[in-house]
Structure 1
Amino acid sequence: MYHKGVYHLFYQYNPLGATWGNGTLSWGHSVSGDLVNWAALDNALDPTAHFDINGCYSGSATTLPDGTPVMLYTGVNATLVQVQNVAFPKNASDPLLREWVKPSYNPVIPLPGDVLGRRFRDPSTAWLGRDGLWRVAVSAGFKDGTGSTLVYRSKDFRQWERNAEPLYSSGDAGMVECPDLFPVADPSVQKGLDFASRNDAAWHVLKLSVMATQQDYYVVGLYDDAADTFTFAGDNDCRTWQRFDYGHVYASKSFYDAGKKRRVLWSWANESDPEPDYVARGWAGVQTVPRKIWLASDG
């Protein structure tokens, strides 16, 4: 996100080892003035509470109308169930946002009864509807094998209600993760949009990450912000959609760069080295170069 002239990148980080570690995952935090040169800060989130004691999994940042950022993130609780939590900056006037507070009323979205306990995660950046309610998309794997992207509404980021219809649902691709929904401008205008300026949007983009293939897929379609549904032409199996990249790229996430009025895409390159090589060098995985994205002339 972009906050008070500073770019903030939050990412999955294991402080106890080079590779992914269940039960130890935190949120690393780096800052930049230009998206090229970065400085690492202390962790933004660590697994310290009953609602995230087994890991702070993925999530997203949302900037409220008064400029205050809020985090929505997945916590793995004491019984290894995935739930959705919020965190706020301790001092929102600090441009580096070095300290974050997790309210005691977490989780704000408990596990639904029809969703598997380890298949409910990755809340998106929230967006404000014309009815004044916030929306957020969350990945869910249903007990019947369906992979889905659910929508929840809230007026205060504390009480959330699930929409009757999902943004996406299919039994074909299995579990889909890291949903991203954003508006795009007419192809003649190579600029980014946030949801506040969505009246200029001709279309929206829905991106999903498929666990089975470790690839990201997207489709351009129409978002109805009254019913909170998304329609598009083509196959409902998201593995047939377009792809952002054909390399080792997964779990991408876009954000609206308010500083330069553009949509920027981050992706994680998960590499393909043997685990002993990761351990020997002390790190695994890299972030790709951030990319500006827009709707091309061919749609």
Structure 2
Amino acid sequence: MTSTASAPTRDLYRPGLHYTPAKNWMNDPNGLVFHQGVYHLFYQHNPFGTDWGNMSWGHATSTDLHTWTEQPVAIPCDDDEAVFSGSAVVDERNTSGLGNGSAAPMVAVYTSAYAKESSRPGVQAQSLAYSLDEGRTWTKYAGNPVLDRGSSDFRDPKVFWYDGPAGAYWVMAAVEAAEQRVLLHKSADLIHWEYLSDFAADGPPDSVWECPDLFELPIDGDAARTVWVLIVSVNPGGVAGGSGTRYFLGSFDGVRFTEESARPSAAPAGEPPLRGSWLDWGRDYYAAVSFDGLAQRRVMMGWMNNWDYAAATPTGVWRSAMSLPREITVRTANGHSRLVQTPIVPPAASSTASDEVLGADSGSGRRAVLATTAPGKVHRARISASAAAAATFGLRIGGPGTGGARLIVDPAAGEIRLDRRDSGRVDFHEHFPSIERAPLEAGERIDLEVYIDACSLEVFVQGGLATITDLVFPHGPDTEIEFFADPSVVLSTVEVAVLG
């Protein structure tokens, strides 16, 4: 079975597949980069406790995106600055001059959150650190910061190499968080930066924007037809409440990102629709960013938590997990370009189809327990079905009886609901009990894929056209996965696999 840390202590809620540090606080993924066959996951980390604070860059590595080894803290905070979110690149051309002639430097671009007692009290500015030994040790650049607007909310730089009609140079996307703006800058050397443009969109006035990402993808696998994707995390103002992550599709000419004309996304009842769409419709997918260094793929990971209640989750010596890595592609659906997310998981160690449900009388409205989970085991449930407009089906995930999280496919309402109000421990924060809703694309067949791992549910709808990510904290170590369906539901697949 996969490991999530160097020597994790198994407990009731520690995942078997999702990354968690052995101990202490974790939030945003930072500096995701692939180099020399190794995936590097850096992340916001408090080395000294389970609450947010002392922000530093934690570090984990993997060769397969499944098994992670926790490394020593990469970039620690100090008396002058906390080390906030950012990105990492391998400077193969040594444009920065930080290489030593034999090794290309790995360069982290991060936000220096300066202390009140520092020379820049309260300022957030962009700084560099570099590594000449594949990310094992880091040196902060002596000329930091490299981009300072004198702002208290300028943060989360995502840097990539642009090579297009406008030229070839580094591009940085960062946010003026409270102003809800993404600011684009360019540089020839990662050290000297020139302003290009900014991008803004509608949103609640009290929301902040964080953790931008900007990248290009082919449409329907056609390299001749591409679209640029801008990711922005928002808090508050998420589609399910609290934290959430939006995406916009458009073009980037090396200077400006221009959003394409598209139908607006759904919004909570009583609120106007927003431009763009939601990367995830759950409560617990935030600060998602993509790996640099993958030439033919775009892979993202997000923080699996919500700022509404992140400090209160009942996980003991560790706090927070990362989502499953997801490959991001673009598909045309109902005449519009849409992001599609496909989880990257290990092969199934075992797989069982439920003959009891799939038998000749499978449309009789049966209920059937498909599997019982146990600590350390990761289960994947797959369902393919067709249903009359008034029919529903789904899964109950909880202890024996009627309690548990309930995932309900409701074609008549055009949605899939994840109700975690009775999912187990829900009383640690008033905002945790909730019902999440994702849009259901019309079609003859409905495909559902659900990943169940200790304290989380990740739901992929219609091949990843929509996702719901939610934390759950069951009361006991054994959890039933129970299928239910109305009589008119016609099933083609009901399968549960244990991932190896």
Shorter-normalised TM-score: what interval? 0.7 to 0.9
TM-score by length of 1: 0.82
- 8 Å contact from structure 2 (residues 177, 210) kept in 1: no
Quote how far apart the aligned CAs of 1:154 are. Answer: 1.1
Residue among 26, 42, 50 paired with 2:72: 42
Confirm or deny that 1:228 pairs with 2:247.
no
Contact persistence 2:171–2:186 (CA under 8 A): yes
Query: Cα 1:33–1:210, aligned 2, differ >3 Å: closer, same or farther?
Result: same
The alignment status of 1:108 with 2:140, answered yes or no, reads: no
Match of 1:125 in 2: 159
| Alignment partners' CA distance in 2, 1:201 and 1:238 | 28
**1:12-60 alpha-carbon deviations (Å, 9 max, x no partner):** 0001111211xx111000001100001111111011373xx2x110001
More displaced, 67-76 or 237-246? Answer: 237-246
**Is the contact between residue 127 and residue 136 of structure 1 (CA under 8 Å) also seen in structure 2?**
no
Give distance in 2, aligned partners of 1:268 and 1:6.
Answer: 20
Once residues 2 and 222 of structure 1 are traced to their aligned partners in structure 2, the CA distance between those partners, rounded to angstroms, is 25
Matching residue within 108, 111, 114 for 1:74 = 111
For the aligned residue pairs, the C-alpha RMSD in angstroms reads: 2.5
Alignment of 1:78-89 (within 5 A): 78=118, 79-89=121-131
Match of 1:203 among 215, 218, 227: 227
CA distance in structure 2 between the aligned counterparts of 1:275 and 1:135, rounded to whole angstroms: 34
1:135/1:201 CA distance change after superposition, 3 Å: farther
Q: How does 1:43-58 map to 2 (within 5 A)?
A: 43-48=73-78, 50=80, 53=81, 55-58=82-85
SS at match of 2:319: coil
| CA–CA separation in structure 1 for the residues paired with 2:258 and 2:147 | 22
Q: Please report how far the alpha carbon of residue 102 of structure 1 lies from its aligned counterpart in structure 2 after TM superposition.
A: 0.7
3-state DSSP of counterpart to 1:262: coil
Cα distance in 1, alignment partners of residues 327 and 125 from structure 2: 32
Corresponding letter in the other structure for 1:10: F
Mapped contact 2:57–2:76 kept (Cα < 8 A)? yes
Q: Which one of 156, 163, 169 corresponds to residue 200 of structure 2?
A: 169
Q: Which of 155, 178, 183 is 2:216 aligned to?
A: 183
Q: So what's the TM-score if we normalise by structure 2?
A: 0.50
Tell me the CA shift for residue 68 of structure 1: 3.4
Q: Distance in 2 between matches of 1:239 and 1:49?
A: 41
Over 3 Å counting, the alpha-carbon distance change for 1:231 and 1:83 in structure 2 is same
Aligned to 2:170: 134
In the other structure, the counterpart of 1:196 is none
Instruction: Quote the Cα distance in structure 2 between the aligned partners of 1:159 and 1:238.
Output: 39
| Helix, strand or coil at the partner of 1:107 | coil
In structure 1, the gaps of 5 or more residues are 190-198
Is 1:292 equivalent to 2:316 in the alignment? Answer: no
Query: Sequence identity, in percent?
Result: 30
CA contact (8 A) 1:137 1:152 kept: yes
1:59 corresponds, among 86, 89, 105, to 86
Aligned length: 269
Instruction: Give the structure 2 partner of residue 20 of structure 1.
Output: 52
Deviations along 1:193-229, one digit per CA (max 9) or x if unpaired, are xxxxxx855111111111222100112111121x333
The alpha-carbon deviation at position 156 of structure 1 amounts to 1.0
Query: Match for 1:64: what amino acid?
Result: D
Residues 106 and 257 of structure 1, relative CA distance in 2, 3 Å threshold: closer
CA 63–275 in structure 1, closer or farther in 2 if over 3 Å, else same: closer
| Structure 2 CA distance for aligned equivalents of residues 256 and 56 of structure 1 | 20
Shift of 1:250: 0.6
Equivalent position to 1:218, from 239, 247, 250: 247
Tell me if the contact between 1:178 and 1:252 (Cα under 8 Å) persists in the aligned partners.
yes
The CA distance in 2 between the partners of 1:41 and 1:211, in whole Å, is 30
- Post-superposition Cα deviations, 1:109-129, rounded to whole Å, max 9, x if no partner, equal 0124xxx41x11000132224
Please state whether the residue corresponding to 1:251 is helix, strand or coil: strand
One-letter code aligned to 2:294: A
The one-letter amino acid paired with 1:283 is W
Q: Residue 153 of structure 1 corresponds to which residue in structure 2?
A: 186
Per-residue CA deviation, residues 55-80 of structure 1 (Å, 9 max, x unaligned), is 11000112223453211100111212
**Rounded Cα–Cα distance in structure 1 between residues aligned with 2:224 and 2:92:** 19
* Alignment match of 2:136 (pick from 75, 98, 108): 98
Report the AA paired with residue 71 of structure 1: A
Q: Does the 8 Å CA contact 1:122/1:178 hold for their aligned counterparts?
A: yes
In structure 2, how many angstroms separate the alpha carbons of the residues matched to 1:19 and 1:26? 13
User: How far did residue 244 of structure 1 move?
Assistant: 1.9
| In structure 1, distance between residues paired with 2:323 and 2:310 | 20
Q: Would the aligned equivalents of 1:204 and 1:221 in 2 still touch at CA under 8 Å?
A: yes
Q: Distance in 2 between matches of 1:229 and 1:188?
A: 22
Instruction: Measure how far apart 1:170 and its partner are.
Output: 3.9
Give the structure 1 partner of residue 449 of structure 2: none
Q: Give 1 or 2 for the bigger CA radius of gyration.
A: 2
Deviations 1:173-199 (A, max 9, x none): 44211001110013135xxxxxxxxx8
* Alpha carbons of structure 1 residues 252 and 239: separation in structure 2 relative to 1, 3 Å: farther
**Which one is further off, 265-274 or 37-46?**
265-274
